[in-house]
Structure 1
């Protein structure tokens, strides 16, 4: 089983994440931010990645550290569970419609973290969560997981639908990308023979 447990404790947050890539989409999520809980639950359910996420954060200050560090811990658990990435499909693309909204997510489990974010909100808060934190969540997740992540809302009006379709599209894309390809289950999906790196800015780090 491809599993990982992350315990991340700082002066701002105390987080425990348990992740199983070969799960059924079961979840237990408690971040202290109800709307964020709902989004992480969507991520688990639609990716079929089992997730247990428990966060105690400095919410008396604001939500920034809780949102950021939860994404980092989930990303770290994902990359640890993937190991050397042997046999994975690597790429995944998904569209998630939600009523009037349609969002597209494309990912590459490349070892080169990068986020392209083309999603906007027309209100400052969703539930009790600051809207600007969603882009930061996706950025922190991509960095910690070592994935190239493109998120684009093609159209939509309802802010709740926009962010939820982004998480659902991410989930479906991840489900594809982390699956073991039975035609190449013994090989790392890269001409370099390895998938790693720190951001794709160094000479020779591109391609594969």
Structure 2
């Protein structure tokens, strides 16, 4: 079995930025998703870092135009719970044999996290061609990722971790980057204040980062 690259690319190529969302309150889910989709960012990664995450995924999945995924998926149990809540894709911070095999088994696209050439090769051996480069900044940034383009010519990356509106264009200019993941489009203070207009504006600005 191999990663469904066509299904994953159909999601990741919708916009240059995939919002990485840490949402503590379920009541924020729908207005947040609506603001991001209205700003042009339909692929939403809801990290499984809060007790509300599954309910947030379930609520966001009702928003027209939203393609909701689950982030910080660490094991098969988390994967199954996320999919049951409505997640259409999954993102993991690393790439264990267990999570790689389980994602292929259940047939839901997984973006596995890698930080080195060796990790990328192991994920590639397991059938994956699109990966999350994480944590992008500490792992070497655009310079390191550029160095992987030639030896791993058939692998694409979504760098996440230390990616901002300032350095995103440098990543997006690389031939082996399909998009970036970032949390700056949904700052905690804007969510807590219900400033959905600001989040929509940040999403629109992120759309302009494509090169």
TM-score norm. by structure 1 comes to 0.27
Q: Whose strand proportion is higher, 1 or 2?
A: 1
TM-score norm. by structure 2 comes to 0.26
